[in-house]
Structure 1
Amino acid sequence: MRIVLFALLCFPLSFFSQTAAKVVGISDGDTITVLLDGNVQKKLRLAEVDCPEKKQPFGKNAKQFTSDQVFAKKIRFTETKKDRYGRSIAKVYYDNGKYLSAEIIKAGYGWWYYSYSKDADLGKMQETAKARKQGLWQDKKAVSPWDFRKEQREKAKAKRLQKQMEQLSVIDQK
């Protein structure tokens, strides 16, 4: 009993809740697919980081960085919750404890997702990468992915509205 209690005190609880897997796919800089026991694939959205979208500058670079770090490697992850698309949000660790989200931010290929993170150290890493003009911070006009997505939604909405107006105009002319 004492040994079990000692073991519980020596290891963080997150260690026990981690799942081992092999990375078999990289969707973009902040989304990976892993292979679990039983040949089950699972898509993971990285916690605390938001990378440029594929159509944004540095989107391909972010995907390549993530691939270089973890593709075909064994990782450990802890699920934190599900996002609105049903993906598991996860903290991913590799190469003896490196935290993938932190490595992406340090390299300048992602933003600290401060709306969903309380880890201010990630914000400091972002500021360091920005000061050093690493990765996407080479672009003085870098747009955060959440602002980019909002802009894309607004453009799509305006386009739909324009199309509706054109259709109404055709009906009025008849």
Structure 2
Amino acid sequence: MRIFLYAWLCFPLSLFSQTKAKVVGISDGDTITVLLSGNVQKKLRLAEVDCPENRQPFGKNAKKFTSDQVFAKQILFTETKKDRYGRSVAKVYYDNGKYLSAEIIKAGYGWWYYAYSKDADLGVMQNKAKTKKLGLWQDKKAVSPWDFRKEQRENTKKKRLQKRLEQHAA
């Protein structure tokens, strides 16, 4: 019984523990690399936001925004899970408690990743940015990153199939 009670009491602490780190790299708008104690680098995928891919319109703008906000700064982060690629998904806080994902969404450089978030306030922030035509919302035909990636996968499949058909016909 004592072990169960101890584990139950400690579980929330481990789930919500924050780690301090310095941002040393920006891969894209929603992926950063941090330096932990002991000179250990860790790649973090930002929770609750999905930014345009680097090859998409506003992808480079999203990367620059994220860089301007946190590059070379001390941050605090809380890991929420691992994604399907094994990256750590994290909530990142900087400048005395600013939530990076929310700042990206408010500035119009990312979509609220509603499929992986229960925070409806982020959706409200997205709608405000969209109404004000901030960032990527200047583009009337803005394509979400998940739709862009799906289209890229489908195009790759079509190209492979076309190549096979051409090889088979030869």
Tell me the TM-score normalised to structure 1 length. Answer: 0.89
Residues 14 and 99 from structure 1, CA distance in 2 versus in 1: closer, same or farther, beyond 3 angstroms?
farther
Aligned match of 1:68: 68
SS at match of 1:96: coil
Tell me the TM-score normalised to structure 2 length. Answer: 0.91
Is the contact made by 1:45 and 1:89 (CA closer than 8 Å) also made in structure 2? yes
Instruction: Point out where structure 1 has 5 or more consecutive residues left out of the alignment.
Output: 1-11
Is the contact made by 2:16 and 2:78 (CA closer than 8 Å) also made in structure 1? no
Following superposition of structure 1 onto structure 2, how do residues 71-150 of structure 1 map, counting pairs within 5 Å?
A: 71-150=71-150
AA of the residue aligned to 2:72: A
Following superposition of structure 1 onto structure 2, how do residues 159-174 of structure 1 map, counting pairs within 5 Å?
A: 159-170=159-170
AA of the residue aligned to 1:92: V
Is the contact made by 1:14 and 1:78 (CA closer than 8 Å) also made in structure 2? no
How far 1:89 sits from its partner (Å)? 0.1
CA–CA distance in structure 2, aligned partners of residues 16 and 134 of structure 1: 32
Is the contact made by 2:58 and 2:135 (CA closer than 8 Å) also made in structure 1? yes
SS at match of 2:26: strand
Deviation readout 1:14-47 (Å, 9 max, x if unpaired)? 8960000000000000000000000000000000
State the identity %: 85
Is the contact made by 2:78 and 2:92 (CA closer than 8 Å) also made in structure 1? yes
How far 1:85 sits from its partner (Å)? 1.1
Instruction: Point out where structure 2 has 5 or more consecutive residues left out of the alignment.
Output: 1-11
SS at match of 2:34: strand
Q: Which has the larger radius of gyration?
A: 1
CA–CA distance in structure 1, aligned partners of residues 49 and 14 of structure 2: 19
Is the contact made by 1:52 and 1:59 (CA closer than 8 Å) also made in structure 2? yes
CA–CA distance in structure 1, aligned partners of residues 129 and 26 of structure 2: 23
Is the contact made by 2:105 and 2:126 (CA closer than 8 Å) also made in structure 1? yes
CA–CA distance in structure 1, aligned partners of residues 111 and 78 of structure 2: 20
Aligned residue pairs, count: 159
CA RMSD of aligned residues (A): 1.4
